[in-house]
Chains A and B, each alone.
Chain A
Amino acid sequence: AQSVAQPEDQVKVAEGNPLTVKCTYSVSGNPYLFWYVQYPNRGLQFLLKYITGDNLVKGSYGFEAEFNKSQTSFHLKKPSALVSDSALYFCAVRDMSTGGYQKVTFGTGTKLQVIP
């Protein structure tokens, strides 16, 4: 079974400050991890993904995420937040250990609010 947890329903940060949105996962084998962003009444936009390789993954709009196997975490980060980053962020995971296509499990989402 695979699962993902986003412990914070909401994160508030001042514009220009660094931001972190937390995500932890649980899989049987190796994880395939994603971050998506959703603006109001819109679908999800892909930000970045981790499969293998460098633990620090860089994505769209200046976002990056750090894969930490020992802590089973994949936190989303940005060095300097913008007001336009305010949105709902979803972490997602797929277990790569089983054959065939496996569905992706999404977290419950974290609402990011960047304060001017």
Chain B
Amino acid sequence: EIVLTQSPGTLSLSPGERATLSCRASQNIGSLYLGWYQQKPGQAPRLLISAASSRATGIPDRFSGSGSGTDFTLTISRLEPEDFAVYYCQQYYTSPWTFGQGTKVEIK
């Protein structure tokens, strides 16, 4: 099973700041099988990024993804109030699909 480790666990930032979230895989998963989700309390996750760097439909361009192999990054260029949430990475390279433990982006 591929383990995804996200860091940091919590990111305390102010609106307008840049957020950089990391996701490290326990083995090489290439560049096509990593996604990012945003989840707010009481809601289902929302897909932000697929294939490591492709924004999902309707996702603002302040969200960007990068990386390949074992190291991946989600960047939010300028935090808006609605971006404070928990973010999960997920690999779909092999079964079982696995998620990282999440990074909480909170208001400083």
* Co-complex (A, B): no
A residues sitting closer than 8 Å to B (CB atoms) are none
B→A interface (CB under 8 Å): none
